[in-house]
Amino acid sequence: MARSANANFSKVQALIVDSDNFSVEILRQIFDGFGMPEAASASDGEAAMAVLQNGKFDLLVCEAMLKDMPGANLVRWVRSQANPRLRYMPILMLTGHTQLGNVESGRDSGVNVVIKKPVSPVVLYDRLVWAADSPRPFVETETYVGPDRRFKFTGMPEGGGRRQTDLVGDIGDAKEPNLSQDEIDGFMKPARMMVFE
C-alpha cells in the first residue's frame, strides 16, 4: 500500500501510554505534525485503563514495557472490553527491545502494529495509515481477540523504517538479537492465504 497523502487525522483522539515523558512529548509533537488534536497520556497500565473507561479514544499507542505491567496485558484488557469503541480501536505498540519474543508478545496480544523505537514520523505515519486502511476483520476466540492475520498480503506501506541513526550500543544482555523494523513488519504482516478449489 502506498502512503496516502490525504489521510485526515484532525478528529483522531489518541492515548499514549508510556512512563517516559520525553517519549510522550515526541509522540505528541509528531501527532501534532499529522494534524491530530493533542494526545492524552497515561504513565502506566492502571492509569490507562481508567482513562480509557472514562474517555473516547480512537487510537491507543502503548509502550511494550510499562512500569506496572507488560503493554501486552493492557492490550488484552482493551480487547476484552464489551464497549466496541475500545475493543476494536487500532493499537500500536512501541518497543526499543525488538527481540522476536517481544514482537510475538505484542502480536499475540492483539495489536495492529509493532513499531521499533526510536520512532520516525515517516514510519509512524505509514503504520497509522496502514492500520486504519486495513480491512482486516477481528478474530474473537477464548484466547485471542485482535486483527485477523489471514488475508491476502498486499504488502506493508512504503517508507521503510531503516535508519542509519537507529540506537546502537550495548543496552543489556539480550538473549536473542533485536529485529529490524523490516523484520518486525514481515513478522506482523499476514500470511498469504491459500485458496483451494
- Give the chain's domains with CATH numbers: 14-188 (3.40.50.2300)
Residues sharing a CB contact under 8 Å with residue 97, sequence separation 6 or more, in sequence order:
64, 65, 171, 172, 174, 178
Q: What is the pLDDT of residue 3?
A: 47
* pLDDT tens per residue across all 197 residues of the chain: 344 557 899 999 999 999 999 999 999 999 999 999 999 999 999 999 999 999 999 999 999 999 999 999 999 999 999 999 999 999 999 998 877 777 888 888 999 999 999 999 999 999 999 887 776 778 888 888 888 765 444 454 454 444 444 444 444 555 677 778 787 776 566 544 443 43
Against a cut of 0.85, is the pTM above it? no
Could you give the CA distance from residue 80 to residue 138 in angstroms, rounded to a whole number?
Answer: 12
pLDDT at residue number 174: 58
Cell of 4: 496516502
Strands (E), 141-183: 145-147
pLDDT of residue 190: 56
Task: Return the beta strands (E) in 32-150 as ranges.
Answer: 40-42, 59-63, 91-95, 113-116, 138-140, 145-147
Q: How far apart are CA 171 and CA 99, in angstroms?
A: 13
Pair type for strands 138-140 and 145-147: antiparallel
Residue with cell string 489521510: 7
pLDDT (0 to 100) of residue 123: 93
- The three-class DSSP label of residue 62 is strand
3-38 pLDDT tens trace: 455 789 999 999 999 999 999 999 999 999 999 999
C-alpha cell at 78: 482493551
Nearest to 71 by CA among 39, 111, 27: 111
Bridge-based pairing state of the strands 14-17 and 40-42: parallel
